[in-house]
Amino acid sequence: MNELPNQFLETANYLGARICRDALWAGNYCNWLGPSMEYVSGNWMVVHRAYGPDLYAGTSGIALFLANLYRHTNEKIYRLTAEAGFRHSLSRLGDLHPAMRCGFYSGCVGIAFALIEAAEQLGNEDYVTGAMRLLKSLAKDDPTAQGLDVISGSAGAIPFLLDVHQKHPDDELLELAVRHGEHLLTTARKNEFGWSWNTMDSPRDLTGYSHGTAGIALALLELHAKTGEQRFRDAAEQAFRYERHYYNAEQENWPDFRSFTVATPGAEAGTVCSVTWCHGAPGIGLSRLRAYELTGQEVYREEANAAVRTTARMLSASVQGLQDNFSLCHGASGNAE
């Protein structure tokens, strides 16, 4: 059963045992209490709360980790706790913000992803049935009332809808992906530098993977690869051009235009660059690697190489203890990916 190097599996085992120990049970359901970033009274702050159902910071993400751990260890407690976590997720779908239902990391699409992945780990095809039902329920939602970015919007939904359609053919899912692509085309802001999207209150439309242009461009490129519709590829290339315009060659990175980074004391506009999966070289590099796979265009390989060099420098700092965040979004795990 052990397919992982011992050190990695031992660490995952330790984390899994701790997660199971801390689970709060109610019948066949379980949840956890812990820190969560929440928008309170106009500010982001860390609060202590019971988790929601989402993939990014909720019970479906925790359950997916435990399901994967069960596959590698065959420890029954991981399976039981994963199943209880998924029961909680499916029972709390109504807690999701209506404008984020299509979100991969924050909405129903991500929960469906976790279920389909766990179906293989746990040998339970009922999870696939539930996931398909959940995805098809999104067909009645208007994409124009949903978000745009990878975390909570159309750009996160499109690649997974296409992937599920490939494995479990259903025209309704492909049609839904196209509708979300059209939503991105309609909301694009076009200027001489390229196309971008207003995903967050900021001085300029964001670069980057999670909330910025890189993630949206990649979703459109995936849609072109599936449908052959040139309009989606043209839009993707315009979006990549927008990021290319702001590329900082000295830092081998792309600027972080979020309001709180632009306001960094002493920083010139466009010179503050993050090095995280969500904003900056790591996530942008992932988008360029996939773009190169899909198109074969050399410019994407060159941009990916620049992103890898910058990310490697940050990971070296992590190894030296200069970074203490290990999350996907803005920590060492996301950069390692």
**CA distances to 184, 218, 245, 307 from 240, in Å:** 14, 9, 9, 14
- Residues 18 and 1: beta-carbon distance below 8 Å: no
pLDDT tens, N- to C-terminus, the chain (337 residues): 455 678 999 999 999 999 999 999 999 999 999 988 887 887 878 899 999 999 999 999 999 999 999 999 999 999 999 999 999 999 999 999 999 999 999 999 999 999 999 999 999 999 999 999 999 999 999 999 999 999 999 999 999 999 999 999 999 999 999 999 999 999 999 999 999 999 998 889 999 999 999 999 999 999 999 999 999 999 999 999 999 999 999 999 999 998 866 545 555 656 789 989 899 999 999 999 999 999 999 999 999 999 999 999 888 766 666 566 777 887 777 777 7
User: How many Å apart are CA 178 and CA 138, to the nearest integer?
Assistant: 13
Domains of the chain with CATH codes: 1-141 (no CATH), 188-337 (1.50.10.20)
In terms of Cβ atoms closer than 10 Å to its own Cβ (0-12, 13-18, 19+), residue 200 is: middle
User: Which residue's entry shows tokens 């809808």?
Assistant: 161
pTM of the model: 0.92
User: How many Å apart are CA 317 and CA 85, to the nearest integer?
Assistant: 35
